[in-house]
Amino acid sequence: MNNSIAFALVSPDRSLFDEKVKEVTIPAENGEMQALPLHTPTIAKMGIGELSCTLASGIRKRVIVSGGFVEVLSDKVTVLVRTAELPEEIDSKRAEDALKRAEQMMLNPGEETDVQQARRAFARASARLKVARHL
């Protein structure tokens, strides 16, 4: 039985993964999904959050992603995202500041405040901090 699946993660400026993995956990727009070998073909819109995968060696890798699409086939997972950030690239102080700003925008929205944008900023900053703290 096949116990690995090809996984590619690409953002506009780089390719982050292109290797075999045991599984991929994806923050899809409508909730988290997990792709395993022999998965039913699926296409989904990406959400904001932590994408994780387990390499064939057993090592778990994490990436913060936002926007884009995922295509899952029985033997391959392809994720195309707007942004992707590895844990070691995250500036925790900047993420904390972004979280506070987004929280204030949601709690005290002004006339010009885009509440949906504030929610997305809050979700992204929260995910960035969660992953950064697991280094």
Residues in the chain: 135
Residue at 97: amino acid letter: D
What is the pTM assigned to this prediction? 0.81
Q: Give the pLDDT of residue 113.
A: 74
Q: Are strands 48-55 and 14-28 parallel, antiparallel or unpaired?
A: antiparallel
Residues 6+ apart with CB under 8 A from 46: 26, 27, 28, 29, 65, 66, 67, 68, 69, 70, 79, 81
Q: Are strands 42-45 and 14-28 parallel, antiparallel or unpaired?
A: unpaired
Domains of the chain, with CATH numbers? 5-85 (2.60.15.10), 90-132 (1.20.5)
**Residue 74: both structure tokens together:** 């029985």
| Backbone φ/ψ region at 129: left (φ over 0), alpha (ψ -120 to 50), beta | alpha
Q: Give the pLDDT of residue 102.
A: 83
68 against 132, higher pLDDT: 68
For residue 24, what pLDDT band results from cuts at 50, 70 and 90?
very high
Nearest to residue 44, comparing CAs of 69, 66, 22, 27? 69
